Amino acid sequence: MLPTRELLAGASHPEALSQVLQLADVCVRTFQPQWSGFLGAPEREECFARLAPLVELKLSSSGGFPQAERQRLLLERSQAHLEENAAAAPLKLLEISGNFLFDPAEAIDFRQALLEQGIEAKDLGDALVRGDRGALVVVSLEAASSLIGKPLQVRTIACLVAETSWERLPNQLPKEKQLTTVEASLRLDAVASAGFAISRNRMADLIRQGKVRINWKVVTNPSRELKLEERVQLEGRGELRLAGAMLTKRERWRLSLVRTL
């Protein structure tokens, strides 16, 4: 029996972790692999960290492509051997097509439309907007069967839903880039501007609009100071980590940044 109470103690995402622990218990008892629903990055990271000490379990994840933020966990017995990859995972890639030229939509709009259609959050992965033509959305097999060929309204736009090829998604593994910059402060807008190569005014606007997160939590204050090892996420631009900060003789900050692309 798994030490469920101990693993849940102090958890930041107890509901998601509890559901994964139930699957882990089934996997350990039956030797049958179990797939979780889609989890956001902070939930997934906590599950990996909390379940890491369980030597009888092996964890991996898939969201359809390497950079996916929302992914499903695969739980297996360590003694079992089962080859799994993104193509074999219980996922489908759907294309939501429509003319968004005069009513632009964001990823959150496509997710909201699918939720209003009755699809549960656990069945929805990432949505990648394709300009004014619609979006590509990763979903579970169950969700795909109820969506393919059906009409869908996103904002004011009538759309069609069809299955499409995985080759249309990015397949490169994430890469890290080391950066060094000197800034007057550790303000979020200043550091993120340097790390993501976006003007400071534009970065401040993105922060106020809720487009920027620190350790996966939305932050809307551009003047919020970063701390060492905090990670900044910007939708569509990857992640930035503050790896080092040294105060110079002129009382400016020499920063070491790691950007994940």
Per-residue pLDDT tens over the stretch 143-170? 999 999 999 999 999 999 999 999 999 8
Q: How far apart are CA 129 and CA 33, in angstroms?
A: 32
Q: Which of 1-15, 82-96, 196-210 has the lowest mean pLDDT?
A: 82-96
Q: Helix (H) and strand (E) counts for the chain?
A: 7, 14
Whether residue 190 contacts residue 184, with contact meaning beta carbons closer than 8 Å, is answered with yes
pLDDT band of 7, cuts 50, 70, 90: very high
Q: What is the pTM of this model?
A: 0.86
pLDDT band of 87, cuts 50, 70, 90: very low
Burial string for 13-49 (b: 16+ CB within 10 Å, else e) reads beebbebbbebbeebbeeeebbbbbbbebbbbebbee
Q: What is the DSSP letter of 187?
A: B
pLDDT at position 84, please? 45
Q: 66: which 2 tokens?
A: 């390497």
* Residue 60 main-chain phi, psi, to 5 deg: -145, 175
Q: Which residue has the tokens 């949505």?
A: 127
Tens digit of pLDDT for each residue in 216-245?
A: 999 999 999 999 999 999 987 889 999 999
Mean pLDDT of 127-154: 96
Q: How far apart are CA 155 and CA 109, in angstroms?
A: 7
Nearest to 189 by CA among 180, 181, 199, 179: 199
Residue type, 39: L
Rg of the chain over Cα atoms, rounded to whole angstroms, equals: 21
pLDDT at position 216, please? 92
pLDDT band of 80, cuts 50, 70, 90: low
Nearest to 207 by CA among 186, 226, 188, 231: 188
Compute how many other C-beta atoms are within 10 angstroms of the C-beta atom of residue 170. 11
What integer best gives the mean pLDDT of the chain?
A: 94
Please name the residues in contact with 211: beta carbons below 8 A apart, sequence gap of 6 or more: 234, 235
pLDDT band of 81, cuts 50, 70, 90: low
Q: Is the predicted pLDDT of residue 107 greater than 60, yes or no?
A: yes
Mean pLDDT of 23-31: 95
Q: 205: which 2 tokens?
A: 């606007």
CA dist 112 → 41, 64, 118, 164 (Å):
19, 20, 10, 21
Q: Is the predicted pLDDT of residue 83 greater than 70, yes or no?
A: no
Mean pLDDT of 17-25: 97
